[in-house]
A and B are shown apart, each in its own frame.
Chain A
Amino acid sequence: MSPQFVDLNGDGKLDIVAGTFDGSPHVAYATDKGWKQPEQIVDRNGARIMANDFWNFETKKWDSTNLCDPEGVRVESGSQVTSAVAFDWEGDGDLDLLLGDHKNGYVYLRRNEGSATRPAFAVRNEQVQAGSKPMKVPGTVATMRLVDWNRDGLTDLACGSMGDSYGQLEGGGVFVYGNSGTKQLPVFGEPLVLLRPSMKTSKEGPTRPDSGLYMDFGDADGDGDLDLLVGAYSHWSVEGPPLTAQQKVRVKDLKEQLAAVQTESAKLNEALGFIVTGLDEEAAAKKREELLATQKEARLALNKRRLELQEELDPMEGGPKRDSFVWIYENQSPPAPAKPSESR
């Protein structure tokens, strides 16, 4: 999830809008005393906003739907929206929603058919275009931010992409889709590449954000331009240090213990599958929940043990490494000459 501070209901207070991995956008409404706990943003009929794949809170399983597909458009299956930003798409004074697809890289528009103070979102998504094609962010969408990148008075769309967050394949990048339309009709083209997708070649520890790039823009150093803030995983590889005979024995022992933890975890998962065999969905969900409750302590203990073992093993082992950080890219470009906003 990537938070956006924005006044979604037009009451003069900044709410927090965010997509989450469950496949829907959420909002934490602001009050005079602070933020309420988040709730799902729903459409004009009170139905959940999503694309295809979503976590079904009733069945407690992953699910899929075509109910929100754009009218008359055959969507590549499996779109899952995990990011959202509120944006006045057609310049009518109320906030619409842009939804980012974590699986295929598409960006969808959910129009606000209500008002600034009483949002009523459409029941279907519209596909946002880049040029003559649907916008498809390379590496799929991690996050979206709104920025007037070229100072023409129009809001451009910046996207950070996921890339391969777990393995050694290409990582994510940062792209800006320039808006060459008007305030009433945004038109996006090919993106400007701010950060090229990473190839994860570092052997010297973390050197850059590599995958799962969630960025924002701000003047961090007070010099009047926009710096780039990026949260992400860094990937690097290390050669293992030379080990003593005693350390080699310890490495073998740690690996055996890790394998045993893995086996115990697999048994717990197996029990979950076994206990629901032959049950209908409702009964299966209930049983699964009951068993998970009884397994909770065991699962926590196994996870704790796994982390302890891994922490001891890591310094003695070479191979790929991954950790999360927040990075700042200071903008060192010379100041651009002032350019008046166009009135469109």
Chain B
Amino acid sequence: MKLVVPMLLASAVTGAAFSNSTAQAQTGPAIPTFAQPARLKAGETFLGGKRLFPSPVFHDIDGDGLQDIVVGDLKGRLTVALRKPGKGPAAYAAETNLMSVDGKEIDFHNW
């Protein structure tokens, strides 16, 4: 199923509102200790698999308070993997295309 996204209002702090990529950080020390990396799955397949230069960003796309993942790519298309509710390791639903108001996939111009 393709996803048509409800709009989210930005917080109107300075007019320069960001999604959590600008994180009002709750970071640890300057040099963190990271666990070994793990490949994320969206549904039954690897998130970003077979995409050209997958570029993920955390964003709560459906306003449920959970950080979903939006993935862009070289072709200029965007997909969304919705975060599943529940405790334990983060789990994500299968990717769906991010749609524009014209009913078509959002398509960032490219060469």
Contact = CB atoms under 8 A, between A and B. Distances in A.
Nearest to B54: A231
A47 interface: no
Interface residues of B, number: 71
A331 B34 contact: yes
Contact of B33 (A1, A10, A142, A331): A331
Interface string B24-55: 11111111111101111000001111111111
Contacts of B40: 229, 325-328
A333 B10 CA distance: 30
Nearest to B39: A325
Interface string A260-300: 00000000000000000000000000000000000000000
A98 interface: no
Contact of B22 (A13, A55, A155, A221): A155
Contacts of B37: 207-209, 230, 327-329
B99 interface: yes
A216 interface: yes
A117 interface: yes
B16 A95 contact: yes
Nearest to B28: A333
Contact of A326 (B48, B100, B106): B48
A31 B28 contact: no
B90 A333 contact: no
B35 A20 contact: no
Q: Which residue of A3, A6, A85, A117 has the most chain B CB atoms within 10 A of its CB atom?
A: A3
A231 to B, nearest CB: 4
Interface stretch (A66-74, A121-129, A146-154, A313-321): A146-154
Given A214-B53, A216-B21, A329 B35 contact: yes
Nearest to B67: A218
A330 interface: yes
A150 B18 contact: no
A20 B104 CA distance: 19
A136 B104 CA distance: 38
Nearest to A96: B16
A225 interface: yes
Contacts of A104: none
B108 A20 contact: yes
Contacts of B70: 3, 5
Contact of B34 (A37, A206, A212, A330): A330
Nearest to A85: B21
B39 A229 contact: no
Contact of B28 (A12, A35, A334): A334
A310 interface: no
Contacts of A219: 26, 67
A40 B109 contact: yes
A225 B28 contact: yes
A85 B98 CA distance: 20
A34 B111 contact: no
Nearest to B89: A221
Contact of B104 (A37, A207, A214): A37
Contact of B20 (A143, A150, A218): A218
Nearest to B9: A12
A177 to B, nearest CB: 12
A165 to B, nearest CB: 8
B94 to A, nearest CB: 13
B12 A26 contact: no
Given A5-B70, A230-B56, 4 more contacts: A1-B72, A7-B18, A35-B98, A206-B39
7 contacts: A7-B18, A28-B100, A88-B14, A149-B27, A194-B34, A326-B56, A336-B27
Interface of B: 4-10, 12, 14-35, 37-40, 46-59, 67, 69-74, 76, 78, 89-90, 98-102, 104, 106-111
Interface of A: 1-7, 10, 12-14, 16, 18, 20-22, 26, 28, 30-40, 55, 57, 62, 85-86, 88, 93-95, 116-117, 142-143, 145-151, 155, 165, 178, 192, 194, 206-209, 212, 214, 216-221, 224-226, 228-233, 323-336
